[in-house]
């Protein structure tokens, strides 16, 4: 019942927003809806901790610790973004970004589109995490792309269209490859359960019998899935849509894209990894994952160093972290999986925070180029400046923040498992990104002051910022026990214990 | 003299092979010609052939759930999507394609080469023990996938790229039918629904690109770099 | 005996086929047309006229009409028209036919350039471009059929085709048929590759090469062109749809065979006319695209004999 509720609430929210007449109603509905989703996801987490797994409808819906973690992360980011977007979109409306007709109808239509598409977007991500059937998982992933295309074109600029087109095309091709991979995986398993049975594509069933799957097919399937879901995750060389999409979409949507969609893409990847390593042993998928992971990290470094636009910088940082997570998955084992899950959690919080800060900066200075932000952020917007700086330190892995701990864990797993070259390259690339981001963003935040006035009040936005920032800082020192238990259980699902 | 052994499995295999070959010819025709409306219609005919192949396989292998997939394909890909796109083309008043990146004769030859690659890949799936139709259709499916992918890279008009993406999905549908007699119905439903929504979304996007850029030429989308 | 019979059939039937195609086309365009027997009358008129030979022409100019005429007839004698056994079938199969036709084309191109007029050179270069692309396609398509029959002898090919009634459902046959049809259009100079009725510089290919000829030489070349058309059409028909091919020329079977041949030729003529009426002539630099498709279809046909 809980799972159905989890899926129904966002749909209801979308419907309610669609038919609402006033902006305040839409905002309230969204906030309430996402709050309810967050609550439901916490309850789900508790249920999973208590019962092990939750399943419904003869195994059609299935949630274990991994699903519960992904859902919890998605729901939290969605809630924060919902409260942030209230302030963000009000500012946009005032400054005329949404269209400037006198009656306000055009603006209302834009707002309606945002407040309807975002719950649908979240719905598809939640669906992906609770679907047991691999094919339905794919359909949900495709739905996330479709829902977010119009979020990317939100501002209707020429560059937005270009970004949306790249996103649509590259995402479309990638997802077709993923569909092919799903098909081949189905073929690998159809000897077990019969062709017409729905359970033939059920992950839980396939995972149990993974040793009996057809080996050559699974090889091909994994490559296709890696390239397919890897496109959505932003692993190089399929990453080229990311910088464009993240810099053109409205900031809360970009935050959702870079955290929750990334997590869902990895969720799909992890499910297939479990199947493949059960069938072929962990070496084959591990090699591929390490390759793509290192490639992503390597590609991110030069683009970070010469970046001129801070939203694109955040996109490359996401590509870098996607690479780190791929490496963690590739290393595997108890340590690697734990590192992966911790990193996923911490990255979600930090990256979302970064995007929200970037949104504040963008709306105040009206530009996202480093060179044009002549004054320092910290003088003009003290709260944002401090939070931005803290979040930046966190994302590049500076101790004592949480990401340092998860990256260190991954490194340890690498050296323990004999992946020395990987570990060395990991350090080198991380250093590169560290330097680039610190210099660029630090310079922007702490640079020599201009005479920018101190900014106006923004309760919604700054409130969300503070909430998330405090979470980030606290988590660096203390992870609440149930959360940590959920994370370790998720890690155990990945490593197969 | 011309007796039709309709219930004979071999006859069914022949018919399916023939239709699969026609699908391949249509895909190559899509690579070679330059009128967008014709492109849409070739896509419609190709999807029709696929629905017929699905129906034939359903008949000969007594797998009734494939009928539903065939009917759905018919409705979505043969009727709805082409009508949608033809209306779009009429509204946008663009009828011809500009020169692709690799010229037409060379791209036709490359398409032929990709067909060969498709056959080689399909060989590794060859199951001599499995009865009924399949091997040829799988090779054609993979070729469709590869040629669709190549066309996406090669062509510059946005609508043609979308059609290439859809023909890629056609290839996947054929692969599903021939490998595993289709996927579970829910999955097929989900996929077809996605295809429909994708066609609508992409159609709107193409229209807006045309409005903003005065052209569907996607090689003009170059403002975002680095 | 069969040699003579097929020889006469080739000579007499070809102008009729050309006439039928022209009349059908005219009727489709709601004209009355010149009548089915017009080419006979034209040939008769041309044979009785005097000739004008340019001063700058060499021996090639005078020799070409004979070479073209006789090579085409020779090629025609090697294909099965009424009987499955071609009269000169022992002397050559598929390759001989292709090369004899190629010989004719070679000399025609030479003679086009021989007179030194620009139209001739223009026609020759266009013809060579098209044939450079069309010939490989034709060879691939015919080899596909030959592989299916296990021999390049046209008698064997036709014989094998008679035996298996559903063979033409095989994809390789279909691809080969499609490729060969496209090549037929290119080689006989039909729309959309070339317009046989035009004398405009922009559009003529075959006509340009024979522009300087007059009198009996022109008659020979026109006749040869229609014989070549008949030869290629019969090749297409009897390789893929060999219903009604008789074992030998003798007996009442010959009459039945001729009737089947006429019927099939009529059908093919209708198809050609339809194609010509519906399409417009392609611009010259688009023709390679069409022929590339034919080439790819031919290669696919060949490959699919091994794979399908």
Cβ <8 Å between B136 and C293: no
Question: Any chain B CB within 8 A of the CB of C293?
Answer: yes
pTM: 0.84
Q: Where are the alpha helices (DSSP H) in B5-64?
A: 9-32, 36-61
- Looking at residue A486, its pLDDT comes to 87
Q: Which helix (H) or strand (E) holds A82?
A: helix A65-95
**Chain C: nearest CA to B13, how far in angstroms?**
10
Retrieve residue C209's tokens: 């090469």
pLDDT for C86: 73
Q: Which residues of B touch C287 (CB under 8 A)?
A: none
Are the Cβ atoms of C292 and B104 closer than 8 angstroms? yes
B116 with C303: Cβ contact below 8 A: yes
Q: Which two tokens stand for residue B127?
A: 């199951």
In the stretch 64-123 of chain A, residues with CB closer than 8 A to chain B read none
Spell out which residues of chain C touch residue B104, defining contact as CB-CB under 8 Å. 289, 292
B224 vs A216: CB contact, 8 Å cut-off?
A: no
CA proximity to B198, closest of A156, A152, A169:
A169
Is residue B127 pLDDT above 70, yes or no? no
Rounded distance, CA C227 to CA C15, Å?
8
Could you tell me which residues of chain B have a Cβ less than 8 Å from any Cβ in chain A?
A: 63, 65, 124-125, 145, 149, 152, 158, 161, 165, 168-169, 172, 175-176, 179-187, 190-191, 193-194, 197-198, 201-202, 205, 208-209, 212-213, 218, 221-224, 226
Kindly tell me the sign of the dihedral angle through the C-alpha atoms of B181, B187, B192, B194: negative
Query: What pLDDT sits at residue A76?
Result: 93
Nearest-Å Rg of the Cα atoms of chain B is 18
Option in B187, B212, B222 nearest A135 (CB): B187
Window B:150-209, CB contacts with C under 8 Å: none
Distance separating alpha carbons of residues A384 and A187, to the nearest angstrom: 52
Tens-place pLDDT, residues A42-51 = 998 888 888 8
The gap from C-alpha B105 to its chain's centroid, in whole angstroms, comes to: 21
pLDDT tens figures, A444-488: 887 776 656 666 677 788 888 888 888 888 888 888 888 888 888
pLDDT beyond 60 at A197: no
B-chain CB neighbours of C166 within 8 Å are 11, 14
Mean of all residue pLDDT scores within chain B: 81
Query: A20-48: b or e for each residue (b if 16 or more CB lie within 10 Å)?
Result: beebeebbebbbebbbbbbebbbebbebb
Residue C129 to residue C285: CA distance in whole angstroms: 10
**B221 vs A contacts (CB less than 8 Å):** 161-162, 165-166
Yes or no: say if A340 and A329 are a contact pair by the CB < 8 Å rule. yes
Mean pLDDT, chain A, as a whole number?
86
Question: Could you give the CA distance from residue A238 to residue B62 in angstroms, rounded to a whole number?
Answer: 41
The dihedral through the CA atoms of B169, B171, B175, B178 has a sign that is positive
B88 to B85, B96, B199, B217, B220: CA distances (angstroms): 5, 14, 11, 16, 20
The answer for residues whose C-beta is within 8 angstroms of residue A164's C-beta and 6 or more apart is A149, A150, A152, A153, A245, A248, B205
Tens of pLDDT, residue by residue over A136-146, are: 899 999 999 98
Strands A54-56 and A61-63: antiparallel
Q: In this predicted model, what pLDDT tens digit does every residue of A21-40 receive, in sequence order? A: 888 888 889 999 999 999 99
Instruction: For residue B123, give how far its alpha carbon lies from the nearest alpha carbon of chain C (Å).
Output: 9
The tens digit of pLDDT for each residue in A55-64 reads 777 778 888 8
Would an 8 Å CB–CB cutoff place C308 in contact with chain B? yes
Give which of C38, C15, C8, C50 is closest to C217, Cα–Cα.
C50
| Selected residue of B17, B105, B139 to mutate for chain C interface (largest C Cβ count, 10 A) | B105
Region A431-448: mean pLDDT is 84
Q: Which of B1, B18, B112 sits opposite C300 (nearest CB)?
A: B112
A187 touches chain B (CB under 8 A): yes
pLDDT of residue A193: 58
In 3-state terms, chain C is what percent helix, strand and coil (to 5)? 75, 0, 25
Counting one residue from chain A and one from chain B, the pairs whose CB atoms sit within 8 A come to 125
- Residue contact B17–C308, C-beta within 8 A: yes
Contacting chains of C (3 CB pairs or more, <8 Å) are: B
Average pLDDT over residues C202-223: 87
Contacts of C304 in chain B (CB under 8 A): 21
Q: What is the predicted pLDDT for the residue at C46?
A: 92
Q: How many helices (H) and strands (E) does chain A have?
A: 20, 2
Interface of A with B in 260-289 (CB under 8 A): none
Mean pLDDT score, B124-147: 73
The answer to whether residue B17 neighbours chain C at the CB level (below 8 Å) is yes
Query: Does residue B121 sit at the C interface (CB-CB below 8 Å)?
Result: no
With CB atoms and an 8 Å threshold, state whether B105 touches C289.
yes
| Beta carbons of C171 and B28 less than 8 Å apart | no
> Is the pLDDT score of B49 beyond 70?
yes
Measure CA C71 to chain center: 13
Question: Which residue in this structure is represented by tokens 């006229």?
Answer: C49
Question: Can you spell out the DSSP letters for C143-168?
Answer: HHHHHHHTSS-HHHHHHHHHH-GGGG
CA distance C86 to chain B (A): 26
Which residue among B21, B28, B29 sits closest to C174, beta carbon to beta carbon? Answer: B21
Q: Looking at the partner chain, which of B161, B168, B205 has a beta carbon nearest the beta carbon of A164?
A: B205
In terms of C-beta distances under 8 Å and separation of at least 24 residues, what long-range contacts does B192-197 make, across chains too? B192/B72, B192/B73, B192/B76, B192/B77, B193/A139, B194/A139, B194/A142, B194/A143, B194/A146, B195/B76, B195/B77, B195/B81, B195/B166, B195/B169, B196/B76, B196/B80, B196/B81, B197/A143, B197/A146
DSSP secondary structure code for residue B95 in this structure: -
What does the pLDDT read at residue A100?
64
Instruction: For residue A129, give the nearest of A270, A264, A325, A269 by alpha carbon.
Output: A264
Residue A136 tokens read as 């339905």
Give the pLDDT band (50/70/90) at residue C169.
low
d(CA A118, CA A252): 9
Subunits close to B (at least 3 CB pairs below 8 A): A, C
pLDDT of res. A372: 76
Quick: pLDDT tens for B156-191.
788 888 888 888 888 988 888 887 776 777 778 788
pLDDT above 90: residue A266 = yes
Helix (H) or strand (E) holding C36: none
Q: Which residue of B has its CA nearest to C289?
A: B105
d(CA A140, CA A161): 23
Is C169 in Cβ contact with B14 (below 8 Å)?
yes
**Band (B1; pLDDT cuts 50, 70, 90):** very low
* Residue in B158, B184, B226 closest to A165 by CB: B158
> Searching chain B, which residue's CA lies closest to the CA of residue C295?
B109
DSSP 8-state class, residue A309: B
Residue A62 has a pLDDT of: 86
Nearest Cβ partner for B108 among C165, C175, C292 = C292
Q: How confident is the model at residue C71 (pLDDT cuts 50, 70, 90)?
A: very high
Residues of B in contact with C170 (CB under 8 A): 14, 17-18
Say if A and B touch: at least 3 Cβ pairs within 8 Å.
yes
Residues of B with Cβ-Cβ distance to C306 under 8 angstroms: none
What angle (nearest 5°) sits at the alpha carbon of residue B217, between those of residues B212 and B219?
Answer: 105
Which of A376-380, B50-54, B69-73, B163-167 comes out lowest in average pLDDT?
Answer: A376-380
Rounded Cα gap, residues C51 and C42, in angstroms: 15
Phi, psi of B103 (to 5 degrees): -65, 165
pLDDT of C102 > 60? The answer is yes
Of B63, B175, B212, the CB nearest to A161: B212
Contacts of A383 (CB under 8 A, 6+ apart): A462, A465, A466
């Amino acid at each position: 019942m809980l799972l159905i509720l989890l899926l129904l609430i966002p749909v209801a929210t979308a419907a309610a927003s669609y038919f609402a007449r006033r902006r305040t109603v839409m905002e309230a509905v969204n906030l309430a809806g996402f709050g309810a989703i967050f609550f439901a996801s916490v309850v789900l987490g508790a249920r999973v901790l208590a019962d092990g797994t939750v399943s419904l409808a003869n195994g059609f819906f299935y949630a274990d610790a991994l699903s519960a973690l992904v859902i919890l992360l998605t729901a939290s980011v969605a809630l924060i973004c919902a409260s942030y977007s209230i302030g963000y979109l009000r500012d946009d409306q005032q400054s005329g970004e949404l269209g400037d007709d006198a009656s306000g109808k055009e603006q209302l239509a834009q707002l309606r589109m945002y407040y309807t598409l975002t719950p649908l977007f979240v719905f598809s991500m939640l669906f992906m995490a609770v679907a047991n059937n691999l094919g339905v998982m794919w359909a949900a992933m495709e739905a996330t792309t479709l829902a977010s295309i119009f979020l990317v074109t939100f501002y209707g600029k020429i560059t937005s269209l270009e970004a949306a087109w790249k996103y649509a095309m590259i995402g479309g091709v990638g997802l077709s490859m993923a569909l092919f991979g799903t098909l081949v995986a189905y073929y690998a398993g159809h000897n077990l359960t019969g062709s017409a049975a729905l359970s033939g594509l059920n992950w839980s069933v396939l995972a149990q019998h993974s040793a009996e799957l057809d080996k050559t097919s699974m090889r091909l399937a994994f490559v296709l899935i890696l390239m397919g879901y890897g496109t959505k995750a932003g692993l190089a060389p399929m990453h080229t849509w990311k910088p464009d999409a993240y810099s053109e979409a409205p900031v809360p949507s970009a935050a959702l894209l870079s955290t929750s969609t990334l997590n869902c893409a990895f969720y799909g990847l992890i499910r297939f990894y479990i199947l493949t390593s059960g069938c072929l042993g962990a070496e084959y998928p591990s090699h591929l994952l390490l390759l793509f992971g290192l490639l992503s990290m390597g590609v991110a470094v030069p683009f970070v160093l010469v970046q001129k636009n801070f939203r694109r910088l955040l996109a490359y940082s996401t590509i870098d972290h996607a690479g780190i997570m791929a490496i963690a998955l590739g290393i595997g084992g108890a340590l690697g999986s734990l590192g992966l899950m911790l990193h996923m959690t911490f990255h979600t919080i930090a990256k979302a925070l970064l995007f929200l800060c970037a949104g504040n900066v963008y709306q105040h200075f009206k530009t996202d180029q480093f060179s044009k932000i002549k004054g320092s952020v910290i003088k003009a917007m003290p709260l944002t400046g401090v939070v931005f700086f803290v979040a930046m330190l966190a994302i590049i892995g500076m101790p004592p923040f949480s990401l340092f701990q998860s990256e260190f864990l991954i490194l340890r797993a690498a050296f323990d498992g004999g992946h020395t070259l990987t570990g060395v390259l990991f350090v080198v690339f991380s250093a590169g990104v560290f330097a680039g981001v610190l210099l660029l963003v630090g310079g922007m935040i702490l640079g020599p002051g201009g005479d920018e006035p101190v900014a106006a009040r923004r309760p919604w936005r700054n409130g969300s910022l503070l909430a998330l920032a405090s979470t980030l800082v606290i988590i660096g020192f203390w992870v609440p026990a149930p959360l940590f238990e959920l994370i370790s259980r998720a890690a155990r699902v990945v490593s197969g214990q | 003299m011309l007796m039709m052994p309709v219930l004979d499995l071999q006859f069914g295999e022949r018919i399916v092979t023939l239709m699969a070959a026609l699908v391949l010819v249509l895909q190559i025709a899509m690579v070679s010609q330059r009128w967008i409306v014709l492109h849409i219609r070739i896509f419609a005919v190709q999807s029709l052939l696929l629905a017929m192949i699905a129906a034939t396989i359903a008949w000969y292998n007594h797998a009734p759930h494939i009928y539903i997939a065939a009917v759905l394909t018919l409705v979505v890909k043969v009727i709805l999507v082409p009508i949608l796109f033809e209306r779009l083309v009429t509204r946008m008043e663009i009828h011809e394609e500009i020169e692709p990146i690799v010229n037409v004769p060379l791209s036709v030859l490359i398409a032929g080469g990709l067909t060969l690659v498709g056959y080689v890949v399909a060989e590794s799936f060859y199951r001599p023990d499995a009865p009924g139709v399949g091997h040829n259709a799988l090779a054609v499916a993979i070729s469709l996938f590869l040629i669709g992918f190549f066309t996406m890279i090669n062509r510059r008009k946005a609508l043609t790229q979308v059609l290439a993406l859809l023909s890629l999905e056609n290839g996947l549908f054929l692969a599903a039918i021939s490998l595993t007699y289709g996927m579970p119905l829910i999955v097929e439903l989900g996929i077809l629904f996605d295809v429909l929504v994708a066609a609508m979304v992409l159609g709107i996007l193409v229209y807006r690109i045309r409005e903003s850029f005065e052209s569907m030429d996607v090689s003009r989308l170059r403002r975002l770099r680095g | 005996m069969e040699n003579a019979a097929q020889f006469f059939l080739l000579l007499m039937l070809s102008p009729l086929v050309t006439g039928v195609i022209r009349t059908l086309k005219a009727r489709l365009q709601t004209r009355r047309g010149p009548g089915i027997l017009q080419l006979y009358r034209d040939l008769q008129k041309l044979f009785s006229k005097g000739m004008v030979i340019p001063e700058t022409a060499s021996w090639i100019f005078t020799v070409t009409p004979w070479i073209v005429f006789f090579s085409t007839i020779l090629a025609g004698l090697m294909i099965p028209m009424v009987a499955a056994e071609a009269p000169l079938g022992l002397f050559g199969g598929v390759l001989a036919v292709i090369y004899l036709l190629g010989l004719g084309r070679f000399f025609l191109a030479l003679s086009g350039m021989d007179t030194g007029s620009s139209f001739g050179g223009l026609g020759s270069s266009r013809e060579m471009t098209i044939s450079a692309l069309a010939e490989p396609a034709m060879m691939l398509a015919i080899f596909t059929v030959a592989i299916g029959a296990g021999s390049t002898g046209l008698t064997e090919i036709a014989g094998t085709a008679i035996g298996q009634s559903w063979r033409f459902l095989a994809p390789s046959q279909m691809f080969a048929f499609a490729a060969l049809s496209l090549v037929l259009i290119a080689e006989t100079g039909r729309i959309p590759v070339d317009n046989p009725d035009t004398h405009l510089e922009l559009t003529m290919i075959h006509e340009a090469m024979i522009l300087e000829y007059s009198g009996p030489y022109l008659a020979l070349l026109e006749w040869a062109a229609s014989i070549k058309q008949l030869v290629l059409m019969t090749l297409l028909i009897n390789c893929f749809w060999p219903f009604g091919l008789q074992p030998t020329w003798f007996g009442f079977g010959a009459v039945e065979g001729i009737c089947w041949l006429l019927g099939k030729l009529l059908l093919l003529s209708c198809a050609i006319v339809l194609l010509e009426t519906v399409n417009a002539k392609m611009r010259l630099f688009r023709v390679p695209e069409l022929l590339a498709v034919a080439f790819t279809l031919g290669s696919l046909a060949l490959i699919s004999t091994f794979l399908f």
